[in-house]
């Protein structure tokens, strides 16, 4: 490689993949939502119909950032309660321990998960996720109540159990079959 050049990934010549939709950024003139205004002014603009659906999306994400600490604290409290008292979570936790796995506050983390709004209007959000290398992520800003967290945590714990019991191939040749199986069983 010549000095001063950097490696770039090259796509096969015969692949003509369309560009994925781009993420939309807020423009107050277009959406009616202005993060420089007080929250209640934006709220009344929403109530009076002066904010577009896109502006409403950006307002919601802005409020999630403002309340991130509160949401994560509430999620941590719910998580700890569930590991102590929830029959479903305790059962799954025991089954994971039987396979020499461990899930607890050190690897079940509550964080804010930003949603994505794409140009085509699709919104992508999630309540949680499982990573074999990191554990379980719970999206604190998406959790409505303790029951919702229990359902989300149980769903992700099934993925953890599948990973330990069946050695799920998350990224290899069989990843789609494995992922489909673990989602269907849930």
Whole-model pTM? Answer: 0.82
**Mean local confidence (pLDDT), 9-18:** 44
Q: What is the mean pLDDT of the chain?
A: 88
- Show which residues are catalytic: 156
Judge whether residue 160 has pLDDT over 80. yes
Judge whether residue 43 has pLDDT over 90. yes
> What's the pLDDT tens digit per position in 92-134?
999 999 999 999 999 999 999 999 999 999 999 999 999 999 9
Rounded to whole angstroms, the Cα distance separating 72 from 21 reads 30
Rounded to whole angstroms, the Cα distance separating 184 from 5 reads 46
**pLDDT band at residue 12, thresholds of 50, 70 and 90?**
very low
Of the two residues 50 and 2, the one the predictor is more confident about is 50
**pLDDT band at residue 64, thresholds of 50, 70 and 90?**
very high
Rounded to whole angstroms, the Cα distance separating 36 from 41 reads 10
List residues bridging with 118 in a β-sheet.
23
DSSP state of 110: E
**pLDDT band at residue 173, thresholds of 50, 70 and 90?**
low
pLDDT at 11: 39
Give the lowest-confidence range in 6-10, 53-57, 93-97, 119-123.
6-10
Listed as own residue / partner, the contacts of 74-81 with beta carbons closer than 8 Å and 24 or more positions apart are: 74/140, 74/143, 75/110, 75/138, 75/140, 75/143, 75/149, 76/105, 76/110, 78/143, 78/146, 78/149, 79/105, 79/108, 79/110, 79/138, 79/149, 79/153, 80/105, 81/146
- Token pair, residue 113, equals 């998960």
**Mean local confidence (pLDDT), 58-72:** 98
pLDDT at 1: 36
> What's the pLDDT tens digit per position in 71-86?
999 999 999 999 999 9
Rounded to whole angstroms, the Cα distance separating 119 from 8 reads 27
Which residue is listed with tokens 């309660």? Answer: 81
Rounded to whole angstroms, the Cα distance separating 128 from 124 reads 12
**What Cα–Cα distance (Å) separates residue 106 from each residue in 32, 76, 109, 135, 136?**
41, 11, 7, 9, 10
């Amino acid at each position: 490689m010549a000095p001063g050049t950097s490696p770039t990934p090259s796509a096969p010549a015969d692949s003509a993949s369309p560009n994925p939709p781009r993420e939309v950024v807020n423009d107050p003139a277009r959406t009616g939502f202005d993060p420089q205004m007080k929250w209640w002014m934006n709220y009344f603009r929403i109530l009076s119909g002066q904010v577009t659906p896109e502006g409403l999306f950006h307002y919601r994400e802005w409020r999630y950032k403002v309340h991130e600490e509160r949401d994560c604290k509430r999620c941590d409290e719910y998580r700890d309660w569930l590991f102590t008292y929830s029959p479903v979570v305790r059962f799954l936790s025991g089954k994971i321990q039987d396979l020499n796995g461990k899930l607890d506050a050190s690897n079940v983390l509550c964080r804010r998960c930003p949603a994505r709004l794409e140009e085509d209007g699709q919104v992508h959000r999630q309540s949680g996720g499982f990573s074999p290398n990191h554990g379980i992520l719970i999206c604190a800003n998406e959790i409505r109540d303790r029951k919702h967290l229990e359902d989300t945590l149980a769903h992700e714990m099934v993925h953890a159990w599948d990973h330990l019991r069946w050695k799920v191939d998350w990224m290899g040749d069989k990843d789609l079959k494995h992922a489909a199986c673990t989602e269907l069983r849930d």
